[in-house]
Structure formats: C-alpha cells, structure tokens
Amino acid sequence: MAMSDGQRELLKGNTESLLLSLIQAEPMYGYQIIKEIERRSEGYFRFREGTLYPALHRLEKDVLVEGRWQQTPRGQDRRYYYLTAKGQAVREAKMAEWQGFSTAVNRVISPRPA
C-alpha cells in the first residue's frame, strides 16, 4: 500500500525518533529496522529504503547511534546499530516532546462533552 503525502510528511518529521526508539529496544541492522517499523505500525509506515541509510548515517555522525559489523544468528555479516548514551538522552527528550504535543493535539481535536 502506497503512503499518502500526509503520512510521508509525518514519517519524515519523526524519522529520528522512530529510529532511536527501535534501536533502543534492541540493536538492529538496516533491513531489520524497515521490517520492524512496518510490523509495529501495522503497515502504516513504509520507509523509502534509500532514505534509511542516510538517516542512520546522520545519526551515527551525530554520535546518537554506533554501527558495528557483526554476524546475524544465520551467520551473515550485517551492520548493527546500537544506541549511544547521547542517543538515549536525545530519544528521551524527543519522547517527552512528542507526548506533550500529541496530548495537546488530542485535547484540541476531541469532541467537547455536551
């Protein structure tokens, strides 16, 4: 299913938060991240695959994640991304920001009790 422009914009604005949250749960490699985002969002988010690696490498350059080559359980070499201490702090700040924002939006758009 193709993403609408609105969904694409939402994903673009929150790529960093999504990636940091996924990697925080467990270290993952690129393809695994794409599958996991799709699975957890029940197909709502679908990354354009070519944009994932630039986003991951930007996070790595900012020392929010760290990439390490290691073997998968099936013995294949893959580059796993780990969350750094700085990445953890940024993730927590972004989560707090998102919670405040979504609560405020929900309050505004919810129908007022009669």
Partner 1 sequence: MDISTYIEAIKRQLRLAPEVRSPVLRELRYHLQDRALELQQRGRSYADAISAAVRDMGRPRLVAQELYESHSQGTWFETAIAAGPHLTLALLFAFHGWQSPLWLGLALGGIVLLTLYGWSRGTPIWLYPWVSYSILPLLAPGVITLFYLWQAVHSHATGAPSPLPAWAWVFLLPALPFTIWSLASIAIRVVQRDWIFGTLLLLPLPALASWLLVLSSRGPLAVSLNPLLREVDGGIAMTLLALAFGTGCFVRLRQRRLKVGALLFTALAIWLVVAQASPQDMSRWGLGLVALLLLGLLLSPALLETRVAPRGGGNEPEDSELDRLMPRS
Residues interacting with partner 1, by CB under 8 A?
29-31, 48-51, 53-55, 57-58, 61, 69, 76-79
Shortest Å, Cβ 53 to partner 1: 6
Q: Is 105 exposed, middle or buried (0-12, 13-18, 19+ CB in 10 A)?
A: exposed
Nearer to partner 1, 50 or 113 (CB): 50
Shortest Å, Cβ 97 to partner 1: 23
Number of H helices, E strands in the chain: 4, 3
Q: Is 32 exposed, middle or buried (0-12, 13-18, 19+ CB in 10 A)?
A: middle
Nearer to partner 1, 48 or 86 (CB): 48
Nearer to partner 1, 61 or 112 (CB): 61
Tokens of 23: 């990697």
Shortest Å, Cβ 91 to partner 1: 19
Shortest Å, Cβ 15 to partner 1: 12
Bridge partners, residue 31, by sequence? none
User: Collapsing DSSP states into helix, strand and coil, what is residue 26?
Assistant: coil
Nearer to partner 1, 33 or 83 (CB): 33
